């Protein structure tokens, strides 16, 4: 009888441990799909962006200050998380679909990458219809650099983004660093300021193209801005 009691207590104990582990896993999954553990973003200032060093990707690289990109006509700038990522390629294609309207407004479209690996940037170019520059110090991914690690793979929003991009026909590879989150900026000409700042909160968190276009329409070319003073 004592043996049966011990066996019963043992079974109940194992069941309790199993239920507790299952409950802990469910709680972890629930919390992972909230914003509780997401890296907090810090908004960039115009002065911060202006002082960033960028490098051209041609045969004779030239280093220049980022403010050259928007000084005269403003700019739309994508900070690419990883050129080989199919989610980044999807967002690049979305932004590139705005290119005709941006051209009408006289607003250029640019992208920055944080590394140049083999043909990754070249392979990204078909998806992105603007010039691409290298941000070696990863400043466009700051001021407070944010990362999403493996928690991203248990977020329902990320899986939704995966399926959306795959269904859209996008594919990619695993080359390069892909945990530092990117974003999109719309910057006005001269000292007009940052008109839109989208920070990627999870893999595949795209900017709204409508919001990009609305912000771009607010840009005053430098000559016009000077005339209205």
In DSSP terms, 53 is beta-bridged to: 65
Q: Is 132 a catalytic residue?
A: no
* Catalytic pick among 77, 85, 148, 212: 85
Annotated catalytic residue, options 52, 88, 132, 207: 88
What residues contact residue 158 under an 8 Å CB cut-off, 6+ apart? 152, 202, 203, 204
Between CA 80 and CA 91 the distance in angstroms is: 9
Q: Are 9 and 132 in contact (CB under 8 A)?
A: no
- How far apart CA 222 and CA 70 sit, in angstroms, is 9
Tokens representing 229 are 């003073």
In 133-207, alpha helices (H): 156-167
Can 174 be counted among the known catalytic residues? Answer: no
Is the CB of residue 108 less than 8 Å from the CB of residue 69? yes
Which residues participate in catalysis according to the annotation?
85, 88
């Amino acid at each position: 009888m004592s043996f049966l009691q011990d066996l019963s207590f043992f079974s109940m104990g194992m069941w309790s441990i199993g239920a507790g582990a299952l409950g802990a896993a469910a709680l972890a999954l629930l919390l992972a799909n909230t914003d509780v553990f997401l890296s907090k973003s810090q908004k960039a200032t115009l002065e911060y962006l202006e002082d960033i060093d960028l490098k051209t990707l041609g045969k004779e690289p030239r280093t220049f200050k980022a403010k050259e990109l928007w000084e005269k006509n403003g700019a739309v700038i994508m900070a690419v998380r990883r050129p080989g990522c199919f989610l980044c390629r999807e967002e690049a294609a979305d932004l590139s679909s705005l290119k005709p309207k941006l051209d009408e407004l006289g607003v250029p479209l640019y992208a920055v990458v944080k590394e140049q690996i083999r043909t990754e940037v070249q392979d990204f170019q078909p998806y992105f219809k603007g010039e691409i520059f290298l941000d070696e110090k990863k400043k466009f991914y700051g001021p407070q650099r944010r990362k999403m690690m493996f928690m991203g793979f248990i977020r329902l929003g990320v899986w939704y983004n995966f399926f959306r991009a795959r269904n859209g026909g996008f594919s990619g590879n695993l080359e390069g660093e892909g945990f530092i989150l990117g974003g999109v900026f719309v910057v006005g000409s001269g000292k007009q300021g940052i008109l839109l700042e989208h920070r990627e909160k999870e893999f595949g968190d795209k900017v709204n193209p409508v919001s990009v276009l609305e912000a771009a329409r607010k840009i005053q070319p430098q000559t016009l801005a000077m005339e209205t003073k």
